[in-house]
Amino acid sequence: MPASTLRCCERIGLIASDRERNGPRDYDAQVLERLAFVGTAKQLDLSLPEIAALLDVVESDTCTQVRESFRPRIAARLREVDARLYALQRLPTRLDAASRSADQCPDSGTQCRSECVLLRSDACDPARPDRSGIRR
Protein backbone atom coordinates (compact mmCIF):
# COMPACT_ATOMS: atom_id res chain seq x y z
CA MET A 1 0.00 0.00 0.00
CA PRO A 2 1.47 3.39 -0.91
CA ALA A 3 2.77 5.59 1.89
CA SER A 4 0.29 8.30 0.86
CA THR A 5 -2.59 5.87 1.51
CA LEU A 6 -1.15 4.96 4.89
CA ARG A 7 -0.85 8.62 5.85
CA CYS A 8 -4.41 9.30 4.66
CA CYS A 9 -5.77 6.33 6.63
CA GLU A 10 -3.89 7.57 9.68
CA ARG A 11 -5.06 11.16 9.23
CA ILE A 12 -8.75 10.19 9.08
CA GLY A 13 -8.44 7.75 11.97
CA LEU A 14 -8.71 4.41 10.20
CA ILE A 15 -5.35 3.32 11.59
CA ALA A 16 -2.81 4.44 14.15
CA SER A 17 0.92 3.86 14.27
CA ASP A 18 3.64 3.94 16.85
CA ARG A 19 6.33 6.31 15.78
CA GLU A 20 9.48 7.60 17.33
CA ARG A 21 10.32 11.21 16.67
CA ASN A 22 11.42 11.41 12.98
CA GLY A 23 11.42 7.63 12.84
CA PRO A 24 9.56 5.18 10.64
CA ARG A 25 6.00 4.26 11.46
CA ASP A 26 5.48 0.95 13.21
CA TYR A 27 2.19 -0.89 12.72
CA ASP A 28 0.94 -3.70 14.95
CA ALA A 29 -0.95 -6.81 13.76
CA GLN A 30 -4.39 -5.22 14.30
CA VAL A 31 -3.44 -2.26 12.09
CA LEU A 32 -2.14 -4.60 9.40
CA GLU A 33 -5.46 -6.47 9.53
CA ARG A 34 -7.36 -3.18 9.19
CA LEU A 35 -5.13 -2.22 6.24
CA ALA A 36 -5.92 -5.54 4.55
CA PHE A 37 -9.62 -4.78 5.03
CA VAL A 38 -9.16 -1.25 3.66
CA GLY A 39 -7.28 -2.62 0.64
CA THR A 40 -10.01 -5.13 -0.16
CA ALA A 41 -12.75 -2.53 0.33
CA LYS A 42 -10.90 -0.09 -1.96
CA GLN A 43 -10.85 -2.81 -4.63
CA LEU A 44 -14.65 -2.73 -4.36
CA ASP A 45 -14.40 1.04 -4.95
CA LEU A 46 -15.88 1.88 -1.57
CA SER A 47 -15.19 5.35 -0.24
CA LEU A 48 -13.09 5.88 2.87
CA PRO A 49 -16.16 6.98 4.90
CA GLU A 50 -17.96 3.78 3.81
CA ILE A 51 -14.89 1.74 4.75
CA ALA A 52 -14.69 3.44 8.15
CA ALA A 53 -18.35 2.68 8.82
CA LEU A 54 -17.89 -0.96 7.82
CA LEU A 55 -14.79 -1.25 10.01
CA ASP A 56 -16.82 -0.01 12.97
CA VAL A 57 -19.41 -2.71 12.32
CA VAL A 58 -16.81 -5.45 11.73
CA GLU A 59 -15.01 -4.64 14.96
CA SER A 60 -18.08 -4.35 17.17
CA ASP A 61 -20.87 -6.52 15.81
CA THR A 62 -21.69 -10.11 14.93
CA CYS A 63 -21.16 -11.69 11.53
CA THR A 64 -24.91 -11.43 10.89
CA GLN A 65 -24.86 -7.70 11.63
CA VAL A 66 -21.80 -7.25 9.42
CA ARG A 67 -23.53 -9.06 6.58
CA GLU A 68 -26.68 -6.98 7.01
CA SER A 69 -24.65 -3.78 6.94
CA PHE A 70 -22.48 -4.88 4.03
CA ARG A 71 -25.19 -6.14 1.65
CA PRO A 72 -27.07 -2.87 1.08
CA ARG A 73 -23.83 -0.96 0.58
CA ILE A 74 -22.64 -3.42 -2.04
CA ALA A 75 -26.06 -3.50 -3.72
CA ALA A 76 -26.07 0.32 -3.92
CA ARG A 77 -22.52 0.36 -5.27
CA LEU A 78 -23.46 -2.24 -7.88
CA ARG A 79 -26.39 -0.07 -9.02
CA GLU A 80 -24.03 2.91 -9.33
CA VAL A 81 -21.54 0.86 -11.37
CA ASP A 82 -24.30 -0.46 -13.63
CA ALA A 83 -25.52 3.10 -14.27
CA ARG A 84 -21.98 4.28 -15.01
CA LEU A 85 -21.37 1.34 -17.37
CA TYR A 86 -24.62 2.12 -19.18
CA ALA A 87 -23.54 5.74 -19.59
CA LEU A 88 -20.09 4.69 -20.78
CA GLN A 89 -21.60 2.27 -23.30
CA ARG A 90 -23.60 5.16 -24.76
CA LEU A 91 -20.65 7.56 -24.76
CA PRO A 92 -19.05 6.50 -28.10
CA THR A 93 -22.36 7.07 -29.91
CA ARG A 94 -22.77 10.48 -28.27
CA LEU A 95 -19.18 11.44 -29.10
CA ASP A 96 -19.71 10.40 -32.71
CA ALA A 97 -22.91 12.48 -32.87
CA ALA A 98 -21.09 15.45 -31.32
CA SER A 99 -18.34 15.12 -33.91
CA ARG A 100 -20.88 15.12 -36.74
CA SER A 101 -22.59 18.12 -35.12
CA ALA A 102 -19.29 19.99 -34.94
CA ASP A 103 -18.94 19.49 -38.69
CA GLN A 104 -22.22 21.42 -39.10
CA CYS A 105 -20.98 24.49 -37.18
CA PRO A 106 -20.76 27.45 -39.54
CA ASP A 107 -17.46 29.10 -40.38
CA SER A 108 -17.72 32.50 -38.77
CA GLY A 109 -15.43 35.10 -37.28
CA THR A 110 -18.12 36.16 -34.82
CA GLN A 111 -18.91 34.84 -31.36
CA CYS A 112 -20.71 31.51 -31.37
CA ARG A 113 -24.45 32.00 -30.97
CA SER A 114 -27.55 29.84 -30.76
CA GLU A 115 -27.17 28.84 -34.42
CA CYS A 116 -24.12 26.82 -33.41
CA VAL A 117 -25.21 23.22 -33.32
CA LEU A 118 -22.94 22.45 -30.34
CA LEU A 119 -24.86 24.88 -28.13
CA ARG A 120 -28.18 23.12 -28.70
CA SER A 121 -29.26 20.55 -26.13
CA ASP A 122 -29.94 17.97 -28.82
CA ALA A 123 -26.49 18.30 -30.41
CA CYS A 124 -25.24 15.01 -29.02
CA ASP A 125 -28.46 13.07 -29.50
CA PRO A 126 -27.70 10.28 -31.98
CA ALA A 127 -31.40 9.90 -32.74
CA ARG A 128 -31.70 13.52 -33.88
CA PRO A 129 -32.23 13.81 -37.60
CA ASP A 130 -29.67 15.84 -39.49
CA ARG A 131 -30.67 18.69 -41.82
CA SER A 132 -31.53 16.28 -44.61
CA GLY A 133 -34.17 14.61 -42.41
CA ILE A 134 -32.31 11.29 -42.38
CA ARG A 135 -31.92 9.75 -38.95
CA ARG A 136 -28.35 8.88 -38.01
Residue 34: CATH number of its domain = 1.10.1660.10
Q: Which residues neighbour 42 within 8 Å (Cβ) at sequence distance 6 or greater?
A: 51
28 and 82, same domain (yes or no)? no
Query: Where is the domain boundary, 60, 84, 101?
Result: 60
pTM over 0.75: no
Return the minimum-mean-pLDDT range out of 63-67, 108-112, 124-128.
124-128
For residues 4 and 31, state if they share a domain.
yes
Using alpha carbons only, what angle is made at residue 54 by residues 53 and 59, rounded to the nearest 5 degrees? Answer: 105
Q: Say if residue 77 is in the same domain as residue 15.
A: no
Give the per-residue pLDDT at 48. Answer: 85
pLDDT in the model for residue 89: 97
- Asked if pLDDT for residue 123 goes beyond 80, the answer is no
Last residue of a domain, one of 45, 60, 75: 60
Going by their DSSP bridges, the two strands 25-26 and 18-19 should be labelled as antiparallel
Which range scores top for mean pLDDT: 9-23, 28-42, 46-60, 76-90? Answer: 76-90
What pLDDT is stored for residue 125 in this prediction? 60
Tally of domains within the chain: 2
Q: What is the pLDDT of residue 131?
A: 43
* pLDDT band at 15; cut points 50, 70, 90: confident
Range of the domain at 126: 62-136
**29 and 47 part of one domain:** yes
Shared-domain flag, residues 53 and 66: no
22/54 same-domain check: yes
